Homo-oligomer: A and B are copies of this chain.
Amino acid sequence: MTLVAALAGGVGAARLLRGMVHVVPSEKLVIIGNTGDDVEFYGLHISPDLDIVMYTLAGIVDENKGWGVSGDTFNCLEMLGKLGFETWFKLGDKDLAVHIARTKFLKEGIRLSEATKRLCQKLGVKAKLVPMTDDRVSTKIISGSLCLDFQEYFVKRKTEDTVTNVVFDGADRAKPAPMVVEALEEAERVIICPSNPILSISPILSISEIKAALKKTDAYVVAVSPIVGGKALKGPADRIMASMGFEVSAYGVAEFYRDFLDHMVIDEVDKHQKKRIEALGVKVTVANTIMKNLEDSVRLAKIVISTK
């Protein structure tokens, strides 16, 4: 029985979720992860957002970076460089084991959701981490006449291109992975993690059955704003929202989710936006949303779970 379903991107989501597992029984938490960023390098299938959440909940994430495995080495990558391959996507040796395993599973015909389940089990992650889909949905970044793969935009070109549009290639044919729609239907509460609305949450919403389930669910839908004081806590969300014509503010985020949002947790520095957001028909809780350590994460998770 799902108590809480969470829509999750990468680092921001993982930081809230590492607190959430101390607040909600893990086995009743279903995390619906973004796979629009998934990428293939060297023939290996990499699911960066799923891995960030998995490593974080397994307690092995590199805390400084927020991604990758703590204390990892990069000897394989260095050698791949010598063999003539591009190495701008920083894959550590331990990290690679996960990609090798996932790729092997997929090659054997095992679906991504089942592969993710197996990896999580082995790493001791008790929450149910589910990819948004077992189908291929690829986030493409449009910048003028350029069409960039997500990781090319995000890592290789360091988010320097002005994003004029984002396309979720394959979304029209993609079905939600098993458990996704049921979790959204059953949950008492749906959490939209403080992830990039356009790059991390929109790919999930791009699958029509997920969007529909979210609109239909009786669950109380709570989002945590990733925009604090008009800036993204991490990553290019602020610049992308601006270049795509959205207001770069907690209000802008609430407006982005207004179709299904019941409640919004905004940072104290944004408390002046409370009334504007409430005018959208969305309740507001003002809190300290910065998560520097596990205590911060637990504190915020408690607030998120008790909003009403």
B contact residues around A146 at 8 Å (CB)? none
Q: Is the CB of A101 within 8 A of B80?
A: yes
Q: Is the CB of A100 within 8 A of B69?
A: no
Tell me the smallest distance from the CB of A93 to a CB of chain B, in Å. 4
Using A83-B97, A83-B119, A122-B83 as known contacts, say yes or no to A107 and B43 having CB atoms under 8 A apart: yes
B contact residues around A85 at 8 Å (CB)? 101
Chain A, interface residues (CB within 8 Å), range:
20 to 34
Q: Is the CB of A104 within 8 A of B42?
A: yes
Tell me the smallest distance from the CB of A55 to a CB of chain B, in Å. 11
B contact residues around A79 at 8 Å (CB)? 69, 93-98
B contact residues around A72 at 8 Å (CB)? 75
CB within 8 Å of B: which A16-52 residues = 42-44
- A245 CB-CB contact with B under 8 Å: no
Q: Is the CB of B104 within 8 A of A43?
A: yes
CB within 8 Å of B: which A91-133 residues = 92-98, 100-101, 103-104, 107, 118-119, 122-123
Whole-angstrom CA separation of A123 from B84 in the bound complex: 10
B contact residues around A78 at 8 Å (CB)? 94, 97
- A280 CB-CB contact with B under 8 Å: no
- A269 CB-CB contact with B under 8 Å: no
Whole-angstrom CA separation of A85 from B73 in the bound complex: 20
Tell me the smallest distance from the CB of A16 to a CB of chain B, in Å. 26
Q: Is the CB of B94 within 8 A of A75?
A: yes
Q: Would you give 15 A-B contacts (Cβ < 8 Å), ordered by A?
A: A43-B107, A72-B75, A73-B73, A75-B93, A76-B94, A76-B97, A76-B100, A79-B97, A79-B98, A83-B97, A83-B119, A83-B123, A84-B118, A85-B101, A93-B93
Q: Which 8 A-B pairs have the closest CB atoms?
A: A79-B97, A75-B93, A43-B104, A79-B94, A93-B93, A76-B93, A80-B97, A76-B97
- Besides A73-B75, A82-B122, 15 more A-B contacts (Cβ < 8 Å) are A43-B103, A43-B107, A69-B79, A76-B97, A77-B97, A79-B94, A79-B96, A79-B97, A79-B98, A80-B100, A83-B101, A83-B119, A83-B122, A84-B118, A84-B122
